[in-house]
Amino acid sequence: MKNTRAGRFTALLKHCVPFVAAVAVTTVASLGFAGPARAADSEQLKHGEYLARAADCIACHTSNRSEPFAGGVPFNLPFGTIYSTNITPDSTNGIGGLSDAEFISAVREGRSKDGKRLYPAMPYTSYTQMTDADILAIRAYLRTVAPIAKPAPANTLGFPFNQRWAMVFWNLFNFSSGRYQPDATKSVEWNRGAYLVGALAHCQECHTPRNFMQGLSGKSLAGAQLGNWTAYNITPDRTAGIGGWSEAELIAYLRDGAVPGKANAAGPMAEVVENSTRFLTPEDLKAMAVYLRSVPAHNAGETQPRFAYGSPIQSVNQIRNQALTVLGGGAPADGRTLYNGNCASCHGWQGNGVGGAAAGAYPSLLHNSAVGAATPDNLTMVVLHGVSRQTNAGHVVMPDFADQLSDADVATLVNFVSSQFGNPAATTSAQKVSKMR
């Protein structure tokens, strides 16, 4: 399976100062908001495993599935390549030589063992709110994984991006150290959700637009562009965000990556579901949904929800035309023919999908957030690279078409799908498809 989590952070880094993942460990759940760290015991280890899995640590720190947490995942940037670090307990190449205090400092303050500042793609700007107990639970769990004596490849960043001292000034304007403080006017569940979303799951790191310094802007969770993928608006605006979603639908999406009639997770979000959110408890998922439905709403001018677009094809003759072309030549096929040859067998000739709400269903292209979005970027990436999403109910797969269709054919197909089933204003070109491959 493609490492889409690496792709997600690579996309983020293209819009941000580079990332040196000295100790990029994360956490998603807490048994409480305060309390002293405990000696490692079975309860703490179980909790730490839950946190590490929920936070998807394995995706960014595993380039080879046979060597979990050993790092080496490449992040290819316009100004060089960086590699994720080894977070196994190996004392030389991993984090075995870090004290608990050094580990906490790296995660929560963005400081490496030698005092150097980490780059903000390691989201310590969010993790600063984490409790000692949660951080040390992850540390306790990581001590139990197999140590692997494998150094991370050397980063190849050019000047001035390899000058980490400049982070002093970035932090001055974009980072404020501090622990999460519960809001006494809100419920325990709401506070739990705020801690999960804001501090631990760090949803804002992908879903919040960035300022000119690439720090998080004030439009929290209003949606952002991450390279070729769009992280959509997840504020409760009824048109631009998730205001038209029920609490149950939000929980289902985080758990399964699919809500029929609304959205299906692909790319980076599919991997988040696969490695992270499907393992969260029902209580934690509900707390996240409660909190997300309460944050300030944002709308950048949208007039119709993404999932509200689409009408089915009325006659099969609408998708019958000329022979398809593939890479290598021939007369160009039009959108209806490309749809008939590549999509109709799974998504139905009318675009209604096959299988309804079943776990392994082929989703409808009508009332689908990716097809109804203002830009067809996510739809294009799905056509090029397919979908692979392991859920608790099974493995959801869509094949990729990058090797079967030319840039021009992908653009033609995407434009047809958008105009027929989604937002007709969302168009792309062969030139843009070429850049997105």
The correct CATH number of 316-436 out of 1.10.10.60, 1.10.760.10, 3.40.50.1100, 3.40.50.960 is 1.10.760.10
Angstrom distance (rounded) from CA 94 to CA 83? 13
Angle at CA of residue 407, ends 402 and 413, nearest 5°: 85
**Hey, what's the torsion of the CAs at 106, 109, 111, 112, to 10 degrees?**
0
Cis peptide before 160 (omega within 30 of 0): yes
Angstrom distance (rounded) from CA 88 to CA 60? 13
Angstrom distance (rounded) from CA 402 to CA 195? 40
Whether 256 contacts 390, CB under 8 Å: no
The secondary structure of 295-314 as a DSSP string is: SPP--SS--S-GGG------
Whether 194 contacts 169, CB under 8 Å: no
Whether 377 contacts 371, CB under 8 Å: no
The domain ranges of the chain are: 4-182, 200-292, 316-436
pTM: 0.85
Nearest one of 230, 234, 238 to 221, comparing CA atoms: 234
Angstrom distance (rounded) from CA 413 to CA 324? 11
Angstrom distance (rounded) from CA 60 to CA 275? 11
Whether 53 contacts 108, CB under 8 Å: no
Angstrom distance (rounded) from CA 380 to CA 31? 40
Strand stretches in 43-148, DSSP E: 74-77, 80-83
pLDDT value of residue 36: 41
CA separation (Å) from 84 to 70, 100, 107? 9, 21, 14
Q: What is the residue-level pLDDT of the chain in tens, covering all 437 positions? A: 445 555 544 544 444 433 333 333 333 333 344 334 445 689 999 999 998 887 788 888 889 989 999 999 887 766 778 888 899 999 999 999 999 999 999 899 999 888 888 877 778 999 999 999 999 999 999 999 999 999 988 888 788 778 888 888 889 999 999 999 999 999 999 999 999 999 889 999 899 999 988 889 999 999 999 889 999 999 999 999 999 999 999 999 999 999 999 999 999 999 999 999 999 999 999 999 999 999 999 999 999 999 999 888 877 666 665 554 454 555 567 898 899 989 999 999 999 999 888 888 899 999 999 999 999 999 999 999 999 999 999 999 999 999 999 999 999 999 999 999 999 999 999 999 999 99
Place of tokens 């000058």: 163
Strand stretches in 201-356, DSSP E: 224-226, 229-231, 258-259, 263-264
